[in-house]
Amino acid sequence: AWFDCVVVDAPCSGEGMFRKDAEARAEWSEANVMACAARQDAILEAAYALLKPGGRLVYSTCTFAVEENEAAVERLLARFPDLEVGSAHLHPAWQPGLASDEADPVRLTARLWPHRLQGEGHFLALLYKAGNGEAPSQLLQTESKIYTAADKELQAFAAEVLYELPPGPYLRFGNKVFQVMPTTPVLDGLRLLRPGWPLGEVRKGRFIPDHSLALGLRAEQVQRCHNLAASDPDVISYLSGQTLATDLPNGWAIVCVDGFPLGWGKVTRGVLKNHYPKGLRWRR
């Protein structure tokens, strides 16, 4: 119960894709529709649990099946009476959800018919959770520990490279170090990519800064900055993964364009070794 908005693009029977997807037509069955509806109920229940009071839940499918659309919303409202349907009519071509009664809240959901717009068949519902928007104050529950002070590797890196250490608390997730919020929610049972701002990782007793740390800093926060003009050909060279010549002293440095950070480099004897992530590098 911590997120302002949860968006569920649910796996469905795919009836809205029949026009262009032969595989969706071949896989369809009444049993599959009911299996999808049951799975969607479980997904929506999990989404509700993540949503904080006052938050929004967006639910969408690419099917025409009532069981997976309006009926799914009705089942959700029956389980959680603190949910209220909001208007999802964001475009004139979107039609009201299927309901016999004009006062039925599912009329506020939206049907996207492929013969009325440029696209396929879809369904969209917007729901609000009652409350004042305050999330419960829950501290992190995980096998890793939260530290109010940075460990020695991060402190040593900050003393050499930064003018000021990003404030804590900090979380060690294996070898990786993150800055987290003091009220980070309960994480048990969640598959996490990042529990906070990735600062870097500890390798063989040394701190290696993360690319995300560079992007979250300003040039004046770093002791060594190799600043380039936007018109400088070295900008493309750096983004392509090449080394650069520099007059900076040895050590970690941030590469900037007109004061805005691009990423890290490490200077050794007048050569800035490129630490721009390989997956982001430009190809000439």
CA distance to 24, 70, 119, 199, 252, per residue, from 19 (Å): 9, 22, 10, 47, 55
DSSP codes joined into one string, the chain: --EEEEEEE-----GGGTTT-HHHHHH--HHHHHHHHHHHHHHHHHHHHHEEEEEEEEEEES---GGGTHHHHHHHHHH-TTEEEE----STTPEEPP-SSTT-GGGGSEEE-TTTSSS--EEEEEEEE-S-SPPP-----SSS-EESS--HHHHHHHHHHBSSPPPS-EEEETTEEEE--TTPPP-TT---S-SSEEEEEEETTEEEE-HHHHHTS-GGGBS-EEEE-TT-HHHHHHHTT--EE--SPSEEEEEEETTEEEEEEEEETTEEEE-S-GGG----
| Residues with active-site annotation | 62
Burial degree of 42 (CB within 10 A; 0-12, 13-18, 19+): exposed
Strands 3-9 and 51-61: parallel
